[in-house]
Chain A
Amino acid sequence: MKRILLILTGLVIVNALFSNDFQNANIEFADGNYNSAVELYKSDILKNGDSFNTLFNLGNAYYEAEKRGMALYYLKKAYIINPRNRDLNQLIDIVENDLNIESSGKLLKIPVSPREIQTLLTISLLLLSLVLFLVALLVFLDKKENWFYNIKKHLVISAASLTFILVLLNFYNISNKKWGIVQNSSKVLISPYNESDESFSINEGTPVKLGEHFQDYYFITDAGERYGWIHVDSVGTYWKK
C-alpha cells in the first residue's frame, strides 16, 4: 500500500514538473524552437500572470524568431516591472537599434518602475500627513519645547518636496499609458473598416499614441503626427483597461 502511494506521489510530482510551461518553454528555447517557446511562455503568462522572467524570456524568444516588434513589446512590459535589470536594458537597446527606432521614439529610462513610484508616493503622502498631524498635536498641546517641533519646518518641506517629485513622475507614467507599440509591420487605414484605403505603412516596434477604439481598430498617431486606424491585433498596449 505504501509503495502504491509513493508511486502515485512521484507521478504527481513528475506531472507537475513537466506541465510547468515556463520550464518547458526554456527547453524549447534551448533547442532553438523559438515559436514553440513563445507559445509556452504565453501559456505560462495566461495561467500565472505576468512575471519579469517570463516576459524577458518571451521577448527574447520573439527576438530569436526575428519578430522584433513583438520582442520589443514584451521586453518593454518587463521593463515596466524592473527597469534596473542590466540584461533587459541591453536587449532593449539591441532591439531598438535593429528596428532603427529614432532616438525620440526610444524608451526614456527612469530607474524606478511605475508601481514603485505609486508605492513611494503613497508612503510619502503618509509621511507628510504624519508630520502634519504631529505638528498639529504639539501646537494643540502647547508643547513647543522639543526637538521635533524645532525641526518641523524642515520635515514638512522635505516630505512635501518628495511628494511633489513623485506626483510629477506619476503623471509622466500616466501620460505614457496612452502609448502602445506596433507589434507587426502593418497598414494604417483611413477608416476603421477592412475595405478602407491605406493611409500609410507603419514599421514594427514604432511607438504610437492610442486614441479612440472602434470595432477592431485603434485610432493611432505616430511621433510624426501621422494618424489613422490600425487593427487591434497589430498594436500592443501595456496596461490593462
Chain B
Amino acid sequence: MKGLNRYFTITVLFTLRILLHSQSINIEIDNPYISIDEWTNLTVTINGDIKKLKYTEPDGVSLTSFGQSTSFSFVNGKNSKTQSINFRVKPLKEGTINLPVFYGIDSNGEKVLSEELQLYVEKGNPTSNNTESNKENLKKENVKLFINLPDRDIYAGESVPVEVEVYFLNRYQPELKRNPYVKSGSYTLELSENITRSNPQAILGGESYHMVAWEGFLTPLKPGNNELELQMESYIRIPEGGSGFFTSYRTEEIVTRSPKEIISILSLPQEGKPEGFSGAIGNLSMNSSINLDKINVGDPVTLSIDIFGTGNFQRINMPAITGERGKWKLYPESSRLQGSAFEGVKKFQQILSPLSDEMTTLPVFEFSYFNPLEKKYITLKTDEIPISISPGVSTRSTSSSITESTFTPERKSLLHKNSKPVNDFKPFSESYLFKILLPLIVLLLTTSGTLFIITIIRQKDIKSESVLIRKYKKIVSTLEEEKNYKKALFTYKELIVSYESLNRNVNPLSITSEDLKHNPVYHDILKKAEDISYLNSDIEESEYTKLTENLIKEIS
C-alpha cells in the first residue's frame, strides 16, 4: 500500500510537471527586410501540447506552408514536444506589414498567442526577379538561360555549386556554339560537361522546351550587391520550306542572356578568424600519414596530408606547422590536386627532418577554412603521429646543404653616361613614323587596287574581242572550204566594222573604207568589199588571199 502511494505521488508530480512545463508559440522570420518581388521564410515553433493552431487573417502578405517537423525529448525529467511549421511569406504590398499572429489552445484550455512580428517591404528591383517569374516573362524567346543558386548566404571567394539551365524551343533544332559564361559581374564561372536529365522536356508559358543543364561552381570575387548576368551563344535551325527529308532550314545565331540578378555577397566574418586562414571556403576534411616511423636525427620523413571535400581548392594551402618548429627542419612542400578545382582531394607532401632525438611525435599541422553552411571558421589538425627518433648521424644530412651554394657571376654595376630618353612605352600610333607612313601605305594600296581593277576590266574587254574574232574565223574557214571567197570577204568586212565601231563607239553602218585610211589592211578589204557589192562582181582566190593575208596575221 505504501509502495502504491509512492507510485501515485510520483505519477501526480510528474503529470503536474508536464502540465506546468511552458507551452508557447514562437515565430521567427529569416529576413524582415525584403523587396516586393522577394520572399522570405517564417518558422513557427510550438512548444508543448498546443492544439487548434490558427493564425489571424494576413493583410498584405500571402502565407504558404511548405513543411513541418515534430520532435520529442525527455531531458532532466522533462518531457517536451516541439513542432516546427515553415511558411513561405510573399509580400503583396510595400511598406511595414504586420505578420499574422499564431494562436492555439494549450493543455490547460488556455489560449496561447505568438508575438506579432513585422515585415518591412521595399520597392521592387525591376532586374531582380525570381527565376520562375522570369521564365514566364521570357515566353517569346526561342532559347532561355537561367542560373540556379543555392538559397543561402554566399561569401566572397567561395565557390558556390550552381546549376545552369538552357531551354531550347522544341520546334527548332538547337546547336551550342559557346557554353554559358559570365557576361557581367565580378564572378568566375566553371562549368562541367553538360548533363542530360532523365526528363529533359519542360513546358514554359505553354510552349514545349528541351532543357540542357550544366553543373558547376560560381565564385564571387568581391562582397556587396553584385549584379550577375550570364550569356550563351547558340544556333537554331528554323524550317523554311519543303517537308520531310526535303525540308530546308535557316540557321540563326542566337545570343541568350540570363535575367540579371543582384546577389548580395557577404564578406567573411572577422570574428573568430584563425591566424593562418588563407581564404579556403567549403566543406573540407583532412587525413594525414607518414612513410617511416623509425628514423635517425637528420633523416627525412615524408608527411602526407590529404584535404578533401568541396571548396575553392585554389586557396587551400599547405597546413601550417604548430608547436616547436625549431626542432624540425622543413623542406619545400609539394602539392597536387586530384579532381576538379572545386571538388576532390588536394594532396600535400611535406618532408621534415628532426634536428634532435627529443621528440616522440611528429609536429601537428593545422589548416583553417570557413564553412558557409555552418557560417563559422573550422580548424583541422593532423594527428600527433608517434615517431621513434634515434640519435645516429644521418648519411643524408650533408647532402642537403649542397643546394644552398651561391654563385654570382661578375656584373657591370653602373652606366656613367645618360642616354637619350625613349618613347618605347608610349603607343606606336603616337609616333611620327606611324603618322607619316600609314597614310602612304593606305595610298599605295588603294592605288594598286584601283589599277588592278582597271586592268581586270580591260582584260575582260580583250577577252570579249578574242571571242568575237574566234567566232568570225570559224565562219570564214567554213566559207573558204566552200570556195565562197566573196562571202568570206564580207565576213571579214563585218569583223573589221564591228571592231572599229566598238573602239570608236559609233554605229557600225556609219563606217566606210574612207574612215579606215589609217590602216591600209582594213581599208583595202573594205574598199574591195564595197566595190564587189556596188558592181555585183566576184573575187578571185589569189586576190582574196593577198587581201586577207595581213589581216589573218594581225588577228592571230
Contacts and interface: CB of A to CB of B under 8 A. Distances in A.
A119 interface: yes
B419 A52 contact: yes
Interface string A129-158: 110110111011000000000000000000
Contact of B415 (A53, A118, A195, A240): A53
Contacts of B130: none
A206 interface: no
Contacts of A229: 221-222
Contact of B444 (A56, A133, A196, A225): A133
B247 interface: no
**Chain B interface residue number, banded:** 35 or more
A238 B427 CA distance: 12
A96 to B, nearest CB: 13
Given A51-B419, A122-B441, A226-B315, 8 more contacts: A22-B418, A48-B421, A77-B425, A190-B157, A191-B222, A197-B157, A200-B317, A228-B279
Given A51-B421, A52-B419, A225-B314, A192 B437 contact: no
Contact of A200 (B186, B278, B421, B454): B278
A90 interface: yes
Nearest to A238: B425
A102 interface: no
Interface string B427-447: 110000110011011001101
A115 interface: yes
A129 B441 contact: yes
Given A26-B414, A51-B422, A91-B411, A119 B451 contact: no
Contacts, number: 158
Nearest to B426: A240
Contacts of A52: 419, 422
Given A48-B421, A140-B451, A200 B315 contact: yes
B447 A136 contact: yes
Contact of A129 (B267, B270, B445): B445
A126 B441 contact: yes
A239 B221 contact: no
A125 B433 contact: no
Given A191-B223, A200-B278, A29 B414 contact: yes
The secondary structure that dominates the B interface is loop
A227 interface: yes
Interface string A189-210: 0111101111110000000000
B412 interface: yes
Interface in B60-107: none
Interface in A96-122: 113-115, 118-119, 122
A49 B422 contact: yes
B448 interface: yes
Contacts of A20: 418
A137 B428 CA distance: 31
B444 A129 contact: yes
Contacts of A39: none
B518 interface: no
Contacts of B427: 240
Interface string A81-103: 10000010011001000000000
A191 B413 CA distance: 41
B34 to A, nearest CB: 25
A54 interface: yes
B424 interface: yes
B277 A139 contact: no
Query: Which of B412, B423, B434 is the most central at the interface, judged by chain A CB atoms within 10 Å of its CB?
Result: B412
Interface of A: 20, 22-23, 26, 29-30, 44, 48-54, 56-57, 60, 64, 77, 80-81, 87, 90-91, 94, 113-115, 118-119, 122-123, 125-126, 129-130, 132-133, 135-137, 139-140, 190-193, 195-200, 212, 214, 219, 225-229, 238-240
Nearest to B444: A129
B404 to A, nearest CB: 12
Given A195-B270, A197-B273, A50 B421 contact: yes
Contact of B417 (A53, A132, A139): A53
A174 to B, nearest CB: 11
B414 A30 contact: yes
A119 B433 contact: yes
Contacts of A192: 222
Given A60-B413, A129-B445, A133-B448, A199 B279 contact: yes
Contacts of B267: 191, 193, 195-197
A39 to B, nearest CB: 16
Nearest to B280: A199
B409 A94 contact: yes
Nearest to B429: A118
Contacts of A22: 418
B156 interface: yes
B2 interface: no
Given A51-B421, A239-B425, A139 B451 contact: yes
20 contacts: A20-B418, A23-B418, A44-B418, A48-B421, A50-B424, A51-B420, A52-B419, A125-B441, A129-B444, A129-B445, A135-B448, A137-B451, A140-B454, A191-B223, A198-B277, A200-B279, A214-B222, A225-B314, A227-B188, A240-B426
10 residue pairs, one from A and one from B, having the closest CB atoms: A49-B421, A136-B451, A190-B157, A129-B444, A53-B419, A87-B412, A136-B448, A199-B279, A53-B415, A118-B428
